[in-house]
Amino acid sequence: MPRPEAPRAGGPALSGVGGVGLGALHLSSASRPSEADAIAVLHRALALGVTLIDTADSYGRDDSEQHENERLIHRALQSYSGDTSGVTVATKGGMVRPGGAWVVNVDPEHLRRAIRGSFEALGGKKPIDLWQLHAVDPRHPIEACLAVAREAVDQGWVRHIGLSNVTLPLLQRARRVVPVVSVTNELSPWQRASVFNNVVACCEDEGLAFLAWSPLGGPGRVKELGALPGLEALARERGVSVHRFVLAWVRAVSPCVVPIPGVSRLATLEDALGAATLDLTPEELRRMEPLLPHRRRVL
């Protein structure tokens, strides 16, 4: 298949990011593949031209596996026979997994330990390409959280700073504290809050990358894609799967948007990455709009 297209988002800080990234969460989830199969997925993604891998210190079954997904990615990069110098690994900190739950913890002391742990898990020899605050908590001002990230940049542990799961006001506050290069928010046919609330528009205007997590709706929604009236017909007309068509639609929301679908099987990897070179026409986008659910869930 064609390699992902040339860089399209993120300004000079993320100049190597292409049209579709790889979300690595499901490589360490409860239904994970074997390590050999997970590394095979990562190696194949790299061979197909993926230049962005999304992870987090909390990607695993529970707190006992903190940093495990990052270590897996590091092992895959170390064992890959090709050039990985242009690959951006984007990780996150600020969530913990007691008993497998997802709980926000952005206490500055926790973030300091988390960043150091991510730095070591990813090899400990060069700064983390992109570290992102995974979530926010009103008990800890975002300014205090990002002061920790700024310290990590000064210490040589982090190269660039991003945000995840934020509103426009929080993004604007954050940019007054540190240089922000990316936002990672949910964007899918069911969740377009970042469009309605102008987070995507701000990223486009300011040259930030918008990394779209769960672009197919996540495990709970992806099977519903085929049930959206008319969507299957649109995809069939282009000779592609519904999944590839929807990922192309997510890309079409803005030039700054890079979908990061979670892929854990070789069987679905190539189809997802094919969206990087599928450009929808204005007519297809016009026909797509009335097919979309119109819930405006606010972050």
Active site members? 59
DSSP 192-205: -HHHHTTHHHHHHH
H-assigned helices in 105-230: 108-121, 142-154, 168-175, 193-196, 199-206
| d(C-alpha 202, C-alpha 120), whole Å | 33
Chain-centre distance for alpha carbon 12? 18
| d(C-alpha 160, C-alpha 158), whole Å | 6
Q: Which residues contact 252 (CB under 8 A, 6 or more apart)?
A: 279, 280, 285
Distances in Å between the Cα of 257 and the Cα atoms of 175, 202, 253 are: 19, 12, 7
* Of the candidates 21, 5, 8, 1, the residue with the CA atom closest to the CA atom of residue 215: 21
CB–CB of 6/52 below 8 Å? no
CB–CB of 136/104 below 8 Å? yes
Query: Could you give phi then psi for residue 131, rounded to 5 degrees?
Result: -110, 135
| d(C-alpha 89, C-alpha 215), whole Å | 19
| d(C-alpha 106, C-alpha 139), whole Å | 9
H-assigned helices in 17-67: 35-47
